[in-house]
Chains A and B, each alone.
Chain A
Amino acid sequence: MSKPHDHDHDGGHHPQPLSGIEARVRAVESLLLEKGLVSSDAIDRVVSAYEKDIGPLNGARAVARAWRDQQFKKRLLADATAALHELGIGGLQGEHMMAVENTPKVHNVVVCTLCSCYPWPVLGLPPAWYKSPPYRSRMVKEPRAVLGEFGVKLDPSVEVRVWDSSAEIRYLVLPMRPKGTDNLSEDDLAKLVTRDSMIGVGTIASG
């Protein structure tokens, strides 16, 4: 978009013209507001839940708990929805959760080939690459090649399990606990857990 007025003439506030998409969104929002179909504060409220509260720290807390507490890990693997509720984690796009465990012999990774399904309550909103055609098209057919691009090199003997979220079940990968972390507290363990490791496109380096 050209921005013919992106400099200030007089030092005062001088708004730039809207881009095509900005104008379109403005048009739709203004109409929905006028019709009383949405409210400004309702839009702000749902957005701020994901900007300020719901994100990968939730998933990291659950992973750290599972690493420290074998009973919790059992419950997480048996009924992830209920186990996550114990930690106060749940909500939209996490109504039916399953946790899948990485081991030295099995590597799990999550994709949604049909759209962008992602476990919001544990990981927040997905990054752009997760929703992009390259990831969605390739992960089911050549997961090792894609994982390699992410820096995850797997021995050929490791079985790759790709979970395509085609229904309303949402998947959380339980990454392997790095060696040398036996003495870490749950909070410190949680700091090691990355978003990518819980999607399955990352591993966690030894502490």
Chain B
Amino acid sequence: MNGVHDLGGMDGFGPVLRERNEPLFHADWERRVFGMMLATMGQGFYNLDEIRHSIERMAPAHYLGSTYYEHWLAGLERILGEKGRLTSTEIETRLTKLAATAPAPLPARNDSTLADRLGQAVYAGAPSSRGKGNPRYRAGAAVRVINMNPSGHTRCPRYVRGARGVIEHVHEKHIFPDAHAHGRGERPQMLYTVAFEAAELWGKDAEGRGRVYVDLWESYLEPAGFVRKTVPRKVPRRPRAAARKQKAKRR
């Protein structure tokens, strides 16, 4: 989707603001949100592409006006709702109840088997590669990013669409987010790192010598040099010529 999350190349956000001695989490609630996200995704209640798309669907003003872990909370609430795990009514009812009572620590509910399993998963990871495929492009091949504007999830940033680049790396087949975020399975596709010259992306406003490298799936690309021509109308030449001849004869 052409969402607010697709920020590459936008202007007007001002300088990058850094915090001195920034803590890992700014408040305990951020810590809990981080943990809940890993614990629910780690059990397969939803996948990484689904949660990314869930966050992308935040209202643009809310997205830009809220902090990072607020994005995670909003994304978590939405995806758990869509997966039938937690409804917004349940959350609102619980909020009303919490407002009416003095805050107290949550009673712990422990499950050491789950804790061990998720603790190990942090170190094991969850690879998205699905083996060597049959690459259409080799390193060094010239490609162009297709023009695309899907309303659903995609990992093809707007700022590279239509741009020409060169294949820098040929990776393996990877889970295809555009399908995986929408319950259409993994549909693995070849993944490439594509190098774009700054001048190709930004034209006369490019800042200087440089390149941007973007990881793109095969179906986002077409061979460069391929020019999409307007399809010629099929004009039945011979019959027309024949008709003219006949007309001439009749005169």
Residues of A bordering B, CB below 8 Å? 15-18, 21-47, 49-51, 54, 90-96, 98, 113-116, 121, 124-125, 127-129, 131-138, 140-146, 149-150, 156-169
Kindly state the separation between the CA atoms of A124 and B34 in the bound complex, as whole angstroms: 13
B140, chain A: closest CB distance, angstroms = 17
Tell me if A167 and B217 are in contact (CB < 8 A): yes
Tell me if B123 and A26 are in contact (CB < 8 A): no
Q: Which residue of A lies closest to B26 (CB)?
A: A128
Tell me if A167 and B122 are in contact (CB < 8 A): no
Which B residues are CB-close (under 8 A) to A138?
A: 11, 13, 16
Cβ of B174 < 8 Å from any Cβ of A? yes
Which B residues are CB-close (under 8 A) to A128?
A: 19, 22, 26, 67-68
Tell me if A40 and B108 are in contact (CB < 8 A): yes
Which A residues are CB-close (under 8 A) to B9?
A: 113, 137, 140-141
Tell me if A133 and B7 are in contact (CB < 8 A): yes
Kindly state the separation between the CA atoms of A65 and B5 in the bound complex, as whole angstroms: 37
Contact of B209 among A27, A141, A159, A165 (CB under 8 A): A159
Kindly state the separation between the CA atoms of A158 and B211 in the bound complex, as whole angstroms: 11
Cβ of B115 < 8 Å from any Cβ of A? yes
- Known interface pairs A33-B109, A145-B207, A160-B208. Does A96 touch B128 (Cβ–Cβ under 8 Å)? yes
How many positions in chain B have a CB within 8 Å of any CB in the partner chain?
101
Tell me if A41 and B8 are in contact (CB < 8 A): no
Cβ of B102 < 8 Å from any Cβ of A? yes
Tell me if B6 and A162 are in contact (CB < 8 A): no
Tell me if B15 and A134 are in contact (CB < 8 A): yes
Which A residues are CB-close (under 8 A) to B171?
A: 96, 167, 169
Tell me if A164 and B8 are in contact (CB < 8 A): yes
B19, chain A: closest CB distance, angstroms = 6
Chain B 3-32 interface 0/1 with A at a Cβ cutoff of 8 Å (1 = within): 001111111011111110010111111011
- Known interface pairs A18-B98, A113-B159, A166-B155. Does A43 touch B39 (Cβ–Cβ under 8 Å)? yes
Q: Which residue of A lies closest to B154 (CB)?
A: A114
Contact of B18 among A39, A129, A160, A161 (CB under 8 A): A129
Tell me if B86 and A35 are in contact (CB < 8 A): yes
Tell me if A17 and B17 are in contact (CB < 8 A): no
Tell me if B86 and A95 are in contact (CB < 8 A): no
Cβ of B77 < 8 Å from any Cβ of A? yes
Kindly state the separation between the CA atoms of A49 and B39 in the bound complex, as whole angstroms: 13
Which A residues are CB-close (under 8 A) to B28?
A: 22
Tell me if B109 and A31 are in contact (CB < 8 A): no
Which A residues are CB-close (under 8 A) to B110?
A: 39-41
Q: What are 17 A-B contacts with C-beta separation under 8 Å?
A: A17-B103, A22-B28, A25-B32, A37-B86, A42-B114, A43-B35, A46-B34, A46-B119, A91-B125, A114-B8, A133-B64, A140-B9, A141-B202, A145-B207, A161-B210, A164-B212, A169-B171
Q: Which residue of A lies closest to B55 (CB)?
A: A115
Tell me if B106 and A168 are in contact (CB < 8 A): no
Cβ of B167 < 8 Å from any Cβ of A? no
Which B residues are CB-close (under 8 A) to A165?
A: 215
A150, chain B: closest CB distance, angstroms = 8
Which A residues are CB-close (under 8 A) to B55?
A: 115
Kindly state the separation between the CA atoms of A40 and B192 in the bound complex, as whole angstroms: 40
Tell me if A44 and B35 are in contact (CB < 8 A): yes
Cβ of B61 < 8 Å from any Cβ of A? no
Cβ of B166 < 8 Å from any Cβ of A? no
Which A residues are CB-close (under 8 A) to B15?
A: 134, 149
**Which one of B88-96, B227-235, B236-244 is at the interface?**
B88-96
Tell me if B99 and A23 are in contact (CB < 8 A): yes
Cβ of B137 < 8 Å from any Cβ of A? no
Kindly state the separation between the CA atoms of A127 and B16 in the bound complex, as whole angstroms: 12
User: What 7 A-B pairs come out closest when comparing CB atoms?
Assistant: A43-B35, A113-B8, A167-B215, A39-B111, A160-B210, A27-B94, A40-B108
B59, chain A: closest CB distance, angstroms = 15
Contact of B112 among A21, A41, A137 (CB under 8 A): A41
Chain B 119-142 interface 0/1 with A at a Cβ cutoff of 8 Å (1 = within): 101111111110000000000000
Q: Which residue of B lies closest to A110 (CB)?
A: B213
Tell me if A91 and B36 are in contact (CB < 8 A): no
Cβ of B40 < 8 Å from any Cβ of A? yes
- Known interface pairs A24-B91, A31-B90, A41-B110. Does A163 touch B209 (Cβ–Cβ under 8 Å)? no
